[in-house]
Amino acid sequence: MPVLTTDTPEVACLMKRNWRLRKLIEAVGNLEYEVTGTAYNHLAHSVIERMLSMKVGHAIEKGLETACDGCICQETILSLPMEDIRTCGIAARKMPEEELAKLVDMTDDEVRASLMRIRGIGKWTVDMCLIFYLGRSDILPVEDGAIRQMFQWLYGEPITNANVR
C-alpha cells in the first residue's frame, strides 16, 4: 500500500513552500492510500456516472457489469459485441484501447489532453486518475471540494482556485 510521508519529495516540497501546510501535514502524519481497480475501470465508471445522472449512470453500470460477468475491465469490454454495449445504454467505445495503454508513458499534460476529449471526463476525473492509477504524487487537485475546504480552514477565509495555486 503506498504511503505519503514527510520524506516523500512532493510532500517535503509542500511543507517547505507553505508553513500552514507543514503544520497540518505534521499533525496528520503519514498517509496510506489504496489503489483499487484499474485506470480503465475508474474511467469507465466516471464516464458512465456522468452520462445523464448518477441514478441512470448506476443503472447503466449495473447492466454493463452484468454483460461483463462482473468484471468491468478493458479485456471484457473489448470482447463484448458493440450491440451488447449499446443495449446497456452506452453509445460507443470512447477511446481506443491502444491509447489507454499509452497513458502510463504520457506526461501529465498529455494525459489531460487525451482523456478530456472524452465526453464525461473532466479535470477532476483526470486528476484522480493521475494520482491513484498512474501514481503521479505531484498532482494537487485544487478544484476538489475537500482540498478547497482544507485551504479555507487553513487560511480562515474563502479561497479561489487561483489562491490555492
Mean pLDDT of 138-165: 81
77-135 pLDDT per residue, tens:
778 887 887 788 776 655 555 566 678 888 999 999 988 887 778 888 889 888 877 88
The answer to whether residue 59 is domain-embedded is yes
Question: What pLDDT sits at residue 91?
Answer: 67
Split into its structural domains, the chain has a count of: 2
Contact 26, 6 (CB under 8 A): yes
9-53 pLDDT per residue, tens:
888 888 898 898 899 899 989 988 776 667 777 777 776 666 667
Same domain, 108 and 139: yes
Domain extent at residue 70? 52-92
The answer to whether residue 32 is domain-embedded is no
Question: What pLDDT sits at residue 107?
Answer: 94
Question: What pLDDT sits at residue 36?
Answer: 66
The answer to whether residue 1 is domain-embedded is no
Answer with the one of 66, 92, 118 that is the final residue of a domain: 92
Mean pLDDT of 49-59: 72
pLDDT at 165 over 90: no
The answer to whether residue 30 is domain-embedded is no
- Model pTM score: 0.62
Angstrom distance (rounded) from CA 45 to CA 48: 5
